[in-house]
Amino acid sequence: MVIKGEATRASGSNSCSTSKSPSQPPHSSSLVKPSSKRRHHKGNPFRLLRSVFRSLPIISPISRLPSLPGGRFRGDFRIVASSKHTVTGTLYGYRKGRICLSIQENPQTMPSLVLELAMQTHVLQKEMSLGMVRIALECEKRDYKDKTKLLDEPTWTMFCNGRKNGFGVKRDENENEDDLHVMEVLRAISMGAGVLPGYSGEDGPDGEIAYLRVNFERVVGSKDSETYYMLSPDGNSGPELSVFFVRL
């Protein structure tokens, strides 16, 4: 995959979803749970109330949201994010297999999300070589009583640069040995692109696992929208890759 920065060839093995790859043997992982899942404590009531008000979206009539696939807009306004922070994102997969997106708090933590996208690895590589890539993942809103978090939704309709590709599927980020092995091998890499030896049984590029690891700025607009903007390592303006999660 194309990224402006240092490319890294790591030693290790794994795959994303592909029928050619056997499961990895169980192994002990040195990855730790994300801090948000490790800490459970009662907060000060005043601070809790203040955080609720801060989480409410600020509506600005001046500008508007970037268009969703097909040129549609979510209203003539922009929702200013209630919170934002940086996370680690990894795209990986066999060249002729479907690519996966993993989101981690940092390279040393367990993934908080692993999503199998509706696109083959070499197709996404080609899209990124041509310029900016916008991936939009949509799902339908649930009943108002349903408390399912946005990134816990099991399936997504995927669009890439406005074109519908198919359906993305959430994977169990804590139990899939293949996905965890990739995160373990890339534990020391904070940013870069390269390949890992795979177990597909094929020689050459098709038997390797391509990966791209970047930092994303996670922007939470509401309980039904989150956006991940790739932070360019050379400081250029405008992200090369953006991933939108939206419940409509």
| Three-class DSSP labels, 65-129 | CCCEHHHECCCCCEEECCEEEEEEEEEEEECCCEEEEEEECCCCECEEEEEEEEEEHHHHHHHHH
Per the prediction, the chain carries an average pLDDT of 76
Q: What is the pLDDT of residue 201?
A: 73
Task: Output 203 or 164, whichever has higher pLDDT.
Answer: 164
Range 137-151 average pLDDT: 92
Task: Output 156 or 175, whichever has higher pLDDT.
Answer: 156
Binned at pLDDT 50, 70 and 90, residue 38 comes out as very low
Binned at pLDDT 50, 70 and 90, residue 53 comes out as very low
Q: Are 198 and 96 in contact (CB under 8 A)?
A: no
Q: What is the pLDDT of residue 73?
A: 35
Reading phi first (left if > 0) and then psi (alpha if -120 to 50, else beta), residue 188 is in alpha
Work out whether strand 83-94 and strand 98-104 pair parallel, antiparallel, or are unpaired.
antiparallel
Q: Are 213 and 29 in contact (CB under 8 A)?
A: no
Beta-carbon contacts of residue 233 (< 8 Å; ≥ 6 apart): 3, 4, 5, 191, 214
- Phi, psi (rounded to 5 degrees) for 78: -115, 135
Q: How far apart are CA 178 and CA 94, in angstroms?
A: 12
Q: How far apart are CA 75 and CA 61, in angstroms?
A: 10
pLDDT at residue 117 is higher than 90: yes
pLDDT 10s digits, 67-111? 434 433 333 333 344 467 999 999 999 988 999 999 999 999 999
